[in-house]
Amino acid sequence: MKNKIENHMFLVSYTYIVRSIFVVLTTLIINIKMSHAQTNQTKKEVLLTLGKNEVLTSGEYYVSQKLDKNHFACIVKDTISNKQSFIFNGRRVFTGEPYSFTVLNFDVNSKNDYKIRYKENDKLMVKCRGKIEGPYEDVVGYKSRLYYVNLDKVPEKFDYFYQLADRWYSSYKGEITQLEPISKQNWSSYGTIRTKVWENGKYMHVLDVFNGDDSQKFVTEDSIVKFGGTLGNLAIIYLKNDSYYFKFNNKTSSPFKADPYDSEYYNPQIDVIGNNYMYTFKKDGRSFVNVNGNISPPIIGGVRDTKLLPDGSYVYAIYNAKKCNIVINGKRSSDMDELDGIEFNKNGFIYVYRNGEQDFININGRRSKGYIDIHALDFKKDGTYSYRYIEKDGWIYENKNGIVKRTQNRKIPEYTYVYTSGHRLFENSTEKYELISSNNKHNFYTNYRYDYVIIDGKRYGNAPAIKAWYDYTNNTFAWNAWEDKDLVLYELQLD
């Protein structure tokens, strides 16, 4: 009897233990499932709600917006009043009539870093980091918009440039720097050729050259066909007795035969600097380049993008129906499909070109690998450089003097130039692209034709992404979207 009681008690205890283990395991499994479910939940934040009559303004190729997760800037338009507003990180910092203001620059990752040029009582003003500055005679936001100043001595850091009287200044966080002007004799000249009848009835060509506020008239040979250089260092090509002549530094070349210079598709080049000169001409359908008296072999195609340096170094590009080439100091490059910019100075050269579906950059003879796109090229006179390119992963990288870093952007504005002067403040959305998590287990896909995004085969949200990221630190997919009037930010935590 005692053994039966002990066996019964053991059985009850064993059953209780098994039941407890089962409960613990069940609870653990449920918690794991709940944890997994919570891990894959999305967080949604509304960053901005447009007014009833408001829409995003759009340009020819882009919508006026820039996004960086929960930081953003955009320009919206009221369709009733037609007024436009610049919104910076959720705040409407400026409102005005269309084309009455220009956003010079901004940084969405800063608290208050934006610069807006506008007119008030016919005077130009600037709203910079929330402060009103001015009035000014003129205001520009890029170095490339400056004229008649020494660009080599313009400060690297600036908010904007402004003009008072006939002087230019840079402004940066309240610090004012006067810019060094270029003397008039160094300004590039421009002019026109016109015909004048002298008293003896003979037709002569008069060249009017303008240099700043000055002008000078050169009464020259019977028929000027091209001129170049600057005031006091002028070069001309003229026609006399069915032969052409080149005149420079009061010296006239021997006569040479050439195809007529008045062809609609023929634009000869003349470059002079110091005592050096370079000019182009055509003969029997072939192009030639004369550099300080040395004439190139016959060239099939046209010659453009000529440049001459004070030491006599030179560069020019050859274009024909199929390929193009660059010639630097007599050395001709291999064939290229397209040429997209040449920079050349005493410290070297850079050019960007395209072969097939890839862009390449050549820096002093060193060729890069092929990229989807290369843009924002900046080559300074001291030989330093920077440019941006798109890799196959869709991200934009910056190469600064050989040091490469990935930017926060996934795309390039459409139809931008290869140079920094073509950089757009606002950006487009990429039509469609894909993101992969760092462990290669998760996939994000968006296509603007569909009102949702796809993550690991499931749909999320109510609109396509206008910008998306994979956050390596937090192991999340994040994306912005416009859902009706709301600019929203989604974040999905991954396991």
Three-state secondary structure readout of 425-437: CCCCCCCEEEEEC
User: Which residues are within 8 A (CB) of 58 and not within 5 positions of it... i.e. 6 or more apart?
Assistant: 64
Distance CA 191, CA 207 (A): 7
pLDDT band at residue 472 under the 50/70/90 scheme: confident
Question: Which secondary structure element, helix H or strand E, spans residue 169, and what is its range?
Answer: strand 167-172
Least confident of 69-83, 110-124, 266-280, 427-441: 427-441
pLDDT band at 52 (very low <50, low <70, confident <90, very high): confident
Q: What is the pLDDT of residues 113-147, one digit of tens each?
A: 999 999 988 889 999 999 999 999 999 988 877 87
Q: For all residues of the chain together, what is the average pLDDT?
A: 78
Amino acid 208: pLDDT = 52
Q: Could you tell me if 273 and 309 are in contact, meaning their C-beta atoms sit under 8 angstroms apart?
A: yes
In this predicted structure, the answer to whether residue 243 has a pLDDT above a threshold of 80 is yes
Each residue of 251-296: pLDDT tens digit? 889 999 888 765 544 567 889 898 999 999 989 889 999 999 999 9
pTM: 0.54
The pLDDT, as a whole number, for residue 448 is 81
Cβ–Cβ under 8 Å, residues 269 and 282? no
Q: Which two tokens stand for residue 336?
A: 């290229």
Strands (E), 202-337: 203-211, 214-219, 223-230, 233-240, 243-248, 251-252, 270-273, 276-283, 286-291, 294-295, 302-308, 314-319, 324-328, 331-332
Buried/exposed 52-75: b ≥16 CB within 10 Å, e otherwise: eebebbeeeebbbbbbbbebbbbb
At residue 105 the predicted structure's pLDDT band, cuts being 50, 70 and 90, is: confident
Give residues with Cβ within 8 angstroms of 242, minimum separation 6: none
Q: Is the pLDDT of residue 9 over 70?
A: no
Long-range pairs, 160-167, Cβ under 8 A, ≥24: 160/104, 160/105, 160/115, 160/117, 160/126, 160/128, 162/124, 162/126, 162/134, 162/136, 162/137, 162/138, 163/136, 163/137, 163/138, 163/139, 164/136, 164/137, 165/137
pLDDT at 415: 38
244-256 exposure pattern, b = at least 16 Cβ within 10 A, e = fewer: bbbbbeeeeeeee
**What is the model's pLDDT at position 153?**
87
CA 77 to chain CA centroid, nearest Å: 25
For 314, other C-beta atoms within 10 Å of its C-beta total 22
Q: What is the pLDDT of residue 199?
A: 43
- pLDDT tens-digit profile of 392-424? 766 788 999 999 998 766 554 443 434 333 334
Q: Is the dihedral of CA 339, 341, 345, 348 positive or negative?
A: negative
Q: What is the strand order of the sheet 324-328 is part of?
A: 302-308, 314-319, 324-328, 331-332
Average pLDDT over residues 6-32: 43
pLDDT score of 178 more than 90: yes
Residue 235 above 60 pLDDT?
yes
Q: In this structure, which amino acid lies at residue 373? A: D
Can you spell out the DSSP letters for 230-255? ETTEEEEEEEETTEEEEEETTEEPPP
HSE-up of 299 (CA within 13 Å, CB side)? 26
Rounded Cα distance between 307 and 420, Å, is 20
SS3 440: coil
Percent of the chain at pLDDT > 70 equals 73
170 and 163 Cβ atoms separated by less than 8 Å: no
Q: Is the pLDDT of residue 35 over 60?
A: no
